[in-house]
Structure 1
Amino acid sequence: MILTRHNTAVFLVNHGLLDTRSLIEHTLAIRSHSQRNRGFSVTWPNGQGYYVKQHRPDAGPWERRSSVAHEAQVLGRLSERDELHDCVPTLRYYDAHRQALVVDWLSDTQAVHEVAIRAEGPDLLVASQLGQALARLHQGLAAIPCDELAGQVPWVIRLDRLYPFAGEDQSWGQARLVALVHAQEECMTALDALASTWPRTQLIHGDMKWQNCLLRGEQCIFIDWELADCGDPLWDLAGLMQSWLKRWIDDQHQGASADYAVAQAARGFIAYQQVLAQVWHHYRVVRQASAERLMALCGARLLQTLYEDLADEPELGAAHILLLQLARNLLVAPQHAAQQWLEVA
């Protein structure tokens, strides 16, 4: 069964998650949220309901081991830990044959990307809340065995494996970015150092960003575990920080010259530097970590963001060049960035 808005309710009824009486007596809202995979919310007027996700292959037959199947396995593991119940979605059902999972619809939450930046600038309270919540999540994940996972190094850290050629899977802008980074020996050396020291001892989320964080009062719920793996917890923290850094870059005047963009960015960075320091210090309250390694990983994560932004672009614009320069500085001089940005002595 390929799930659509028209048959998702039937799927829930067939698996005992919805009864026919509810279909008759209540009005259900079924909406599509499909991105990388199919996604559908099925909610009642009071906001309660389910979120259903189904694997959507790029082409050809379904993979035996899809990202949805992987997420279901991870959520099953997380559900066994009482200390994680309030910060991860509850897996209600997984259909292995149809590669579809069901979790609760989190209606009484705020999306972090909608509240992280207020009219007056970055919200320091949201930053501190996310820093502490992520540290506590990592404490809980540390107790979960993950020996059977691949522990793959994020693809962007192994940028040496990409070729600077445009084609069906890589735009001209992306190919140009790969060529530029390959030409910078210091960047490639820094990426190689991160790859050679990549840890494989702890489960991490793997795709941390504002869009995968929801706030419920003082709680933070982390969603979308498709890329969870054994790896470096600081990769998750770097993912959060790049959300602020990307927003900072996006706030610059589009179409401006590179020199103007740099000057404007410098003026607006003070508030963002404060919020990054806030995230770091509240993470460190709960969990010790290396600020220098975090900054290098932030550089790598910004390269990933830049590559993704160039998916349909023929070349790099001024904002792209600024983002590349920032990523390069973090990779090559992480100690300086830790001192200047995170106020680490």
Structure 2
Amino acid sequence: MQLAPDTVYQYLQKRQLIDEEAVVNGNFMVHPVKTRNNIMKILIQPHNSLFVKQMGTDLVSGNLFQREVNVHYLFKNNNEFSSIAAIVPPLLDYDDEHNIMVTELLHNAKNLYEHYMLTKNFDLNLAKEQASILSAYHIIPDKKTNTSMFPKLLPWVLQLDKHKAHEFFVGNESSSEIINLIKQNQVLQNELINLAKSWQFTHLIHGDIKWINFLAVEKEGGFSQKLIDWELADIGDPIWDVAGLIQSYVTTWLLGFDNNNPYSQTLPEYMQPYDIKNMQPSAQAFLYEYMELQQYEKLDQAVFLTKVMQFTAARIIQTSVEGITFNTKIEANNMRCIQLAFNILKDPLATLHELFNIKL
């Protein structure tokens, strides 16, 4: 069964998730959202609306669905993780026969990318709160905590040496082509192999940190944030999540250049607020706040920031390649991303200074 805008009402009614009185009064709207999953926003009342997410029926999608459901269960029922429940929209219902989950839809919330695009304001308080959110769930689970739902997998970009290029995005020639280019660059390939060897299977991680997975929620005097899409949650290396947020700054900047002018060093006028120099204070605030919350000593900061930049390079590659699967062709900005990732891996601390004005 595939949910659709004209069938979702009956489904939600059957699951007793609909306020009938509100519907009778004309408060029911369906907003489909185009993603790789089947997603619909159900607008009923400002503080009584639903977010419906249906994943595929293939084995991989089924496993991701079950993992996300299990993570919500962990947050709700395990004291070790109970504080995290406040930063995640509550799971209201799930249907493991059809891989459907229903969570609360936050009124007037925008994902962080949308928020930044609309406001052009990189509020340092938002960056610091993101550090607090990551720090809150970056926990080493107690040995008594059941973590069997987590497969402890490396990100696919750190496994390029183990598989052929066409095996990552089946049927997508452009993705295979650029993965082949990466694999043929022995320096780049070796750096990714070394990163895989350095991976720590220690903490709870989100696994897919990026701006669009943070929701900025209006409140009196400002915004608060929630973190969504936990389908790649795992026991892994917390620095991967930190790098995920840093790559959002970098890829927003790099992917904003004019693809028809590959040698241009200047962003189009409408993208100039998102020049990396304008976003530096926000990225700095995030990194400094995270290091303080995680109590990194001075001597450990260089090691931490080096690995952040190395993982950021891997995340940039991953974002670029995944973008090609939607565009179906390699564009100039994809190559900008790969080139910068290569430069970062050659000298992580030099690029840390150049991109974010952090010098150790």
TM-score, with normalisation over the residues of structure 1?
A: 0.86
Say if 2:276 is the partner of 1:269: yes
1:16 to partner: Cα distance: 2.6
1:199 to partner: Cα distance: 1.6
Aligned equivalents of 2:25 and 2:267: distance in 1?
60
Aligned length in residues? 340
Give the conservation status (yes or no) of the 8 Å contact 1:51–1:105: yes
1:34 to partner: Cα distance: 4.8
Give the conservation status (yes or no) of the 8 Å contact 1:276–1:342: no
- Matching residue of 2:247: 242
Q: Which amino acid aligns with 2:73?
A: G
What are structure 1's unaligned runs of at least 5 residues? none
Say if 2:200 is the partner of 1:199: yes
- Matching residue of 1:319: 333
SS at match of 2:176: helix
Give the conservation status (yes or no) of the 8 Å contact 2:321–2:334: no
Aligned equivalents of 2:87 and 2:116: distance in 1?
18
- Matching residue of 2:70: 73
Give the conservation status (yes or no) of the 8 Å contact 1:296–1:332: no
Return the match for 2:231 from 221, 226, 229.
226
Q: Which amino acid aligns with 1:150?
A: P
- Matching residue of 1:4: 4
Q: Which amino acid aligns with 2:283?
A: L
Which structure: greater helix fraction? 2
SS at match of 2:87: coil
Aligned equivalents of 1:319 and 1:138: distance in 2?
33
1:297 to partner: Cα distance: 0.4
- Matching residue of 2:93: 93
Aligned equivalents of 1:268 and 1:55: distance in 2?
35
Q: CA RMSD in A?
A: 3.1
Aligned equivalents of 1:344 and 1:321: distance in 2?
27
- Matching residue of 1:180: 181
Say if 2:32 is the partner of 1:35: no
In structure 2, the CA distance between the partners of 1:316 and 1:91, relative to structure 1 (3 Å rule), is closer
SS at match of 1:107: coil
Give the conservation status (yes or no) of the 8 Å contact 1:212–1:222: yes
SS at match of 1:292: helix
1:36 to partner: Cα distance: 2.2
SS at match of 2:50: strand
What are structure 2's unaligned runs of at least 5 residues? none
Give the conservation status (yes or no) of the 8 Å contact 1:299–1:331: yes
- Matching residue of 1:50: 50
In structure 2, the CA distance between the partners of 1:49 and 1:165, relative to structure 1 (3 Å rule), is closer
- 1:157-212, CA deviations, whole angstroms, 9 ceiling, x for partnerless residues? 11123434599825443233222212222211211111112222222111111111
Aligned equivalents of 2:275 and 2:72: distance in 1?
39
Say if 2:291 is the partner of 1:305: no
- Matching residue of 1:284: 291
Say if 2:344 is the partner of 1:330: yes
Aligned equivalents of 1:262 and 1:176: distance in 2?
28
- Matching residue of 1:159: 160
Aligned equivalents of 1:331 and 1:12: distance in 2?
49
Aligned equivalents of 1:48 and 1:250: distance in 2?
37
- Matching residue of 2:358: 343
Q: Which amino acid aligns with 2:160?
A: L
Aligned equivalents of 1:98 and 1:300: distance in 2?
34
Give the conservation status (yes or no) of the 8 Å contact 2:31–2:40: yes
- Matching residue of 1:82: 82
Which of 183-192 and 40-49 deviates more? 40-49
- 1:46-76, CA deviations, whole angstroms, 9 ceiling, x for partnerless residues? 3521112222236xxx779432222111111
* Sequence identity (%): 23
